[in-house]
Amino acid sequence: MSPRRGRRGAGRAARARRTPPPPTRVTTPGRIRPEPTGRRGAAASRRGLGGDQVEGRQAVRELLIAGKRRVREIWMVDDGDDAPVLRDIRELAEDARVPVRQVGRSRFAAQARCEAPQGVLALAAPLPEHDLDELAAGRDGEPAFLVALDRITDPGNLGAILRSAECAGVTGAVLPRHRAVHVTPTVTKAAAGAVEHVPMAIVPGLPAAILRLRDLGVHVVGLDAAADRTLYDMTGADGPICLVLGSEDRGLSRLVRARCDEVVAIPMRGVLGSLNVAAAAALACFEVARRR
């Protein structure tokens, strides 16, 4: 080899050593990142039901017990807490072959989204959306018992409503796609596992969904503080029924109210003029449960 070629080869080798390797895309383990599915797919995922991050001890425990969707991993704060519910979660995760990651408090806080996640969260597949007609058909031979939520925007309220609804035997929930909260980590915490057992449908518009439910034989009852009749005068509770609850600040929208079969109010004895929507939902759901 000539001296010139030797120097040239050495120069190329030096440049190769100085040239940095192509950048590697690194993601934080366990961090939820949407897959690139194109413009339409990304928009659809943003409008979906959610529920892919579950927070709170009871919510994570119920997620594992239900076993209805894939759980990628569970994060626990490494602080030596050995509460019975945490032991249950570890045992259930081991049985389901779900990895449990012990993390420091600061790293956990960076991933958590609700105010009090209780040191536990799970990363899971999103909740499946159900068809409205499917919900109207009822479940396990029982007539449909649905709740429809008109522009509920507070995740704590949605979670509390779903928890009370599940305990009362509700077979499904109907949520509008726009101007309403869906299943966030705060919802999963407040619902305490109810999101695993209450099938949910997302509809483009609630007024049209109400008309469809009525066509399918579901009796639709709206709750409105200004109604002339009371909850205890409600009809149709023994058959397919859907309770409609309005937003926290404005109640039922005009068109939703007009399309209900009947509108009833919860009788009030105190000075205040209305109840929190989650409390109203609990009373109405258990009134239907009492009659069934």
pLDDT reported for residue 30: 42
* Rounded average pLDDT over 242-268: 94
Q: How confident is the model at residue 250 (pLDDT cuts 50, 70, 90)?
A: confident
Indicate whether 218 pLDDT > 80. Answer: yes
Beta bridge partners of 173: 147, 200
Q: How confident is the model at residue 48 (pLDDT cuts 50, 70, 90)?
A: confident
Q: How confident is the model at residue 82 (pLDDT cuts 50, 70, 90)?
A: confident
What DSSP line would sit under 85-142, residue for residue?
HHHHHHHHHHHTT--EEEE-HHHHHHH--SS--TTEEEEEPPPPP--HHHHHT-BTTB
* Rounded average pLDDT over 155-180: 97
**pTM of the predicted protein model:** 0.82
Q: Which of 263, 258, 213 is nearest to 234 (CA)?
A: 263
Q: Choose the weakest-confidence range: 8-22, 140-154, 215-229, 251-265.
A: 8-22
Domains and CATH numbers, the chain: 49-124 (3.30.1330.30), 132-291 (3.40.1280.10)
Indicate whether 46 pLDDT > 50. Answer: no
Q: Which amino acid is at 159?
A: G
